[in-house]
Amino acid sequence: MNSSHDVATGMKRQGGKWTKAWLAVILFSMAHAMAQIAQPMKLIQTIELPEGPTFPFAGDLAVDIKGNRLFAATQGTKSVTVVDLQRGAIIHTFPVEYAHTVMYMGDLDQLYVTDQGTAEPGLKIFDARDYHLIKIVKLLARADAAEYDPQSKYFYVDNGGAAAKLDYSLLTIVDTTKSDVVGEIKIPSKTLEQLVLEHSGPRIYVNLEDKDEVALLDRSRRTFLEAWPITQGKRNTAIALDEKHHRLFVACRTGDLHGDVAVFDTQTGKQINALPIGGHVDDLDFDPASGRLYASCGSGEIDVYQQRDADHYNLLAKTETGIMARSGLLVPELHKYFSSVPHIGTQSAKILVFQIQ
């Protein structure tokens, strides 16, 4: 009796061990699978750019989805580089002294490039078929960030301020159909940074870096409405909008190695949250489909936040890039994120291509 009882208990114990082992295996597999799912970005390609002198910045990126082309403002080589995305090869470079924003106009097959160079500053319009310069739209000094409104086909571009020895800046409106200036909005700031357009209404939000404020503009009336102070965060540069939930995301370079994304309620103009990110942020993208926010930071990381609801955000991951790789571009149609890495010392200039999950 005793022995059979012992055997039965032993079996039971052994069975318990097996159950535990299986449970451990299942839990490990689940954790592994979750880690795989939770990783929001995966490096799938590295496109090396032509060798040039060391330069701490790389400018903006743009994509021609139909033509499989990527355009990169490669400031170190004083050029714009054109990459064939299918082959991962450079197909053309053309000179631009100090290119900042690059935007591809698909309907016109043209490239709009803001140039802060001293020789011919302003907005340069290139034919994207043979890359010849079509026109230079003269602007004040420091033509920098810009945004495009696909409804009106107007291009809004920052210029002026301290670099033009003025205590105000301009948001100049260029009609892309006529390739000409049709107006401007005067803004009380010495340093404008990035802007974002509301699609369901006439609002423009633009960063006033020198004041730690966000300006609210009415683009149909071409007027400055008001400015909202940033209460947590400093030196706001990048910006993104979640129109559905009335949330504005303002990325700040608060410290040299640490920054914040200030979350605003666009209905009240009040900051409701601050999400920690890396330093030297220069691009911020919000993807409404996934509710994810991508902050490209020059400290060498892309910080990805998941929006749980309008007031709650979780950091999903920090994806490594390179030092001063602060320009990034989310292209949801391609399920890709492109990051531009400048040549600094032993770090070569390159484009990192990530698959977004």
The answer to whether 44 contacts another protein (rule: CB under 8 A) is no
Residue with smaller CB distance to another protein, 56 or 88:
56
Task: Say how far apart CA 127 and CA 133 lie, in whole Å.
Answer: 6
Q: How many residues belong to the site for another protein (CB under 8 A)?
A: 25
Q: Which of 40, 41, 47, 57 is in the footprint of another protein by CB under 8 A?
A: 57
The answer to whether 219 contacts another protein (rule: CB under 8 A) is no
142 touches 161 (CB < 8 A): yes
| Closest distance of CB 277 from another protein, Å | 14
The answer to whether 256 contacts another protein (rule: CB under 8 A) is yes
Q: Which of 192, 300, 305, 356 is in the footprint of another protein by CB under 8 A?
A: 300
Binding mask 261-290 for another protein (x = CB under 8 A): ------------------xx----------
Joined tokens for residue 282: 């220069």
Binding mask 66-105 for another protein (x = CB under 8 A): ----------------------------------------
Cα–Cα nearest to 155, from 134, 125, 130, 187: 125
Eight-state DSSP code of residue 195:
E
Task: Say how far apart CA 113 and CA 104 lie, in whole Å.
Answer: 9
CB atoms within 10 A of CB 271: 20
327 touches 102 (CB < 8 A): no
| Closest distance of CB 54 from another protein, Å | 6
Phi and psi of 160, rounded to 5°? Answer: 85, -155
The answer to whether 298 contacts another protein (rule: CB under 8 A) is yes
Residue 85: C-alpha distances to residues 46, 89, 227, 326, 338 (Å): 11, 7, 40, 20, 11
The answer to whether 39 contacts another protein (rule: CB under 8 A) is no
Q: Which parts of this chain interact with another protein (CB under 8 A)?
A: 54-57, 235, 237, 253, 256-258, 279-280, 298-300, 320-324, 341, 344-347
